């Protein structure tokens, strides 16, 4: 009942994570407002109010947050390893600017609560499931150095806003997220959509960046959305919380699952350690999320990957049909 009847703004609500937060809010009876900038809504629903806004502009942010009770700030820039290596500052600049502007508007507009995203990329290197208190125990891994410090600063900025205003701030530290409406653009996709795209295309040999021994904590986006709603409700006190799957998997194993789901298990798999990769091991400890939020991941990796593969195939078919009509 926490969200029922509340006006909830989702910045980036037409994007990957934002789309799933919007769907979860609608299921809970919220009145949902979404900012639109460069893309249309992924999900059409007459209950969604849209506001066209450039969140780098102060006046647009103020207009977007006006009257909102709660805010989920899901707008920002994300990119894969190759893009980060080629243009490391772009994502940092965009995320700093948009988050600072939205926090400023939340303060001026007297929103009750806002959730902002930090990242597991902010943690120092570790070969174990890392807990929230380890964030400041060392610098971020070299592969995430600039991006990781940016996420740390955004946490600090959120704490500053909370200390100076009545706005209550929730801070989410997600693991690696995947699922429907992910970014499958070959220039910018993360590892899961990149592997799915090439598996569905039937590439053979099937080349995977890295050694295959890299370990990740892959979180289905619907689990992230549920976790974020719980976090804003139960822990909007600037106390960062990891949201992950609680399960570690090697890239090699994830690759096998994806090839099986795509019907391409017979491909010759080659691992290329010379191509860009990031941290060798990253898994977050989710004990705090379980204790404080009552959060439990619901989607097994095998099931989530199958669903994402099937969704991507259908998306390709729809795109092909549209191209033929035009």
Domains by residue range for the chain, with CATH: 7-320 (3.40.50.720)
Give the helix/strand (H/E) hosting 72.
strand 70-73
Cross-strand partners of 32: 8, 48
What is the Cα–Cα distance from 41 to 35, expressed in whole angstroms?
9
Give the helix/strand (H/E) hosting 283.
none
Backbone angles phi, psi at 12, to 5 degrees: 70, 25
Q: What is the pLDDT of residue 247?
A: 96
**Token pair listed for 177:** 């997220």
What is the maximum span of the chain, computed from C-alpha positions, in angstroms? 59
Residue 312 appears among annotated catalytic residues: no
Q: Which of 3, 70, 147, 178 is catalytic?
A: 147
Q: Rounded to whole angstroms, what are the CA distances from 79 to 37, 82, 86, 90, 190?
A: 18, 8, 11, 10, 7
Cross-strand partners of 48: 32
Q: What is the pLDDT of residue 186?
A: 86
- pTM greater than the 0.85 cutoff: yes
Say which residues have a Cβ less than 8 Å from residue 215's Cβ, sequence separation at least 6. Answer: 248, 249, 250, 251, 280, 281, 282, 283
Q: Are strands 113-117 and 168-174 parallel, antiparallel or unpaired?
A: parallel
Of residues 247, 216, 239, the one with CA closest to residue 143? 216
> For residues 109 and 62, is the Cβ–Cβ distance under 8 A?
yes
**CB burial of residue 42 (10 Å; 0-12, 13-18, 19+):** middle
Q: What is the pLDDT of residue 86?
A: 60
Q: What angle do CA 145, 147, 60 make, to 5 degrees?
A: 160
pLDDT averages per 10-residue partition of the chain, 326 residues: 97 97 98 95 94 98 98 84 61 94 97 98 97 98 93 98 97 98 90 97 96 97 98 98 97 98 97 86 98 98 98 91 68
Q: What is the pLDDT of residue 324?
A: 66
């Amino acid at each position: 009942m926490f969200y029922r009847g509340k006006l909830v703004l989702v910045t980036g609500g037409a994007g990957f994570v934002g789309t799933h937060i919007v769907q979860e809010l609608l299921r809970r009876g919220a009145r949902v407002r979404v900012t639109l900038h460069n893309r249309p809504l992924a999900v059409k629903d007459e209950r969604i109010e849209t506001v066209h806004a450039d969140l780098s502009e102060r006046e647009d942010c103020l207009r977007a947050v006006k009257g909102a009770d709660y805010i989920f700030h899901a707008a920002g820039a994300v990119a894969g390893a190759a893009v980060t290596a080629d243009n490391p500052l772009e994502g940092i600049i965009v995320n700093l600017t948009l988050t600072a502007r939205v926090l400023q508007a939340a303060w001026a507009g007297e929103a009750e609560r806002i959730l902002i995203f930090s990242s597991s990329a902010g943690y120092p290197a570790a070969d174990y499931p890392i807990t929230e208190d380890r964030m400041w125990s060392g610098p971020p891994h070299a592969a995430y150095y600039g991006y990781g410090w940016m996420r740390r600063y955004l946490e600090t900025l959120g704490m500053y806003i909370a200390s100076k205003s009545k706005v209550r701030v929730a801070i989410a530290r997600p693991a690696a997220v995947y699922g429907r409406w992910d970014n499958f653009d070959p220039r910018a996709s993360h590892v899961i959509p990149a592997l799915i795209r090439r598996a569905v295309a039937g590439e053979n040999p099937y080349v995977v960046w890295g050694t295959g021994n890299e370990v990740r904590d892959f979180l289905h986006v619907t689990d992230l959305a549920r976790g974020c709603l719980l976090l804003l409700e139960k822990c909007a006190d600037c106390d960062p919380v990891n949201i992950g799957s609680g399960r570690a998997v090697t890239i090699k194993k994830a690759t096998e699952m994806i090839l099986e789901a795509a019907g391409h298990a017979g491909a010759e798999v080659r691992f290329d350690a010379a191509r860009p990769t990031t941290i060798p091991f990253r898994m977050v400890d989710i004990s705090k999320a379980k204790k404080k939020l009552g959060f439990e991941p619901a989607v097994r990796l095998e099931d989530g990957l199958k669903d994402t593969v099937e969704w991507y195939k259908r998306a390709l078919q729809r795109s092909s049909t549209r191209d033929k009509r035009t």
